[in-house]
Structure 1
């Protein structure tokens, strides 16, 4: 493995963990408080804005680093014709789904900030963040399967 591959792998894994961890933290720790009315709009707005930045930067860096890693490890034939390749393509689809769910959930959450509302927007955003959290877990399952090629059952 070259130095550039090692750097790309570190970027990929680091930002994947940061992104999915941030989404899950918002889902299980922040949203329940917001739904109960225990948070004001101002701190929730700050947390949501930071999550959006983390999500957007992570999506970009994961696309670049993952593209590099896929380009150096797979041919077109192996990407579209092997179990490993299908897992890589599934990962790409799941990253896209994660980005979409975080963006929609964040927009739903932010709808009430101007009026200082928290409970209703948190309730409306919850399904998107639950979905994003599930997608995040699936991404790590996918990554685990990719890391051990003999574990792929198909």
Structure 2
């Protein structure tokens, strides 16, 4: 019981930090770069930190989420109940968020290495906005699971 509580708390905290970081980059950092307020070096540093956070969060989410799913669900309950579907949707959203952050960072850094800032920031903004939307959907999914609203 205590282990499950620790795992759930860690899962939610890391997920919220991860999503918050992506939303911050999409909503504050990239618009500032498009406006010319950031140089290439700081923007590349931010992108690198985001991807390292994303990779670390992905591992933590996999381990904690795997533990929670393994102790709280069976294959039948994952595939045959609304709560199980929410868990599977969370897994799919997690994979999409990870992929979008990796792709966005790669494309952004490629442009920054050419000593350009505004164009790569503008070109990757859509990818990071999509990642932010996926992240918010993850938090909504987690809220539905945590609320107990969806029982069957």
1:13-32 aligned at under 5 Å gives the runs 13-32=12-31
Q: Secondary structure at 1:43's aligned position in 2? A: helix
Structure 1 spans left out of the alignment, 5+ residues = none
Structure 2 spans left out of the alignment, 5+ residues = none
1:82-121 aligned at under 5 Å gives the runs 82-121=81-120
Determine the C-alpha separation between the residues in 2 that align with 1:115 and 1:103. Answer: 19
CA contact (8 A) 2:83 2:151 kept: no
Q: Which has the higher contact order (CA 8 A, sep 6+)?
A: 2
Alignment partner, residue 47 of structure 1? 46
Kindly state the Cα deviation for residue 123 of structure 1 after the two structures are TM-superposed.
1.1
Determine the C-alpha separation between the residues in 2 that align with 1:97 and 1:153. Answer: 26
What is the TM-score of this pair, normalised by structure 2? Answer: 0.96
After superposition, the CA RMSD in angstroms is 1.3
What is the TM-score of this pair, normalised by structure 1? Answer: 0.94
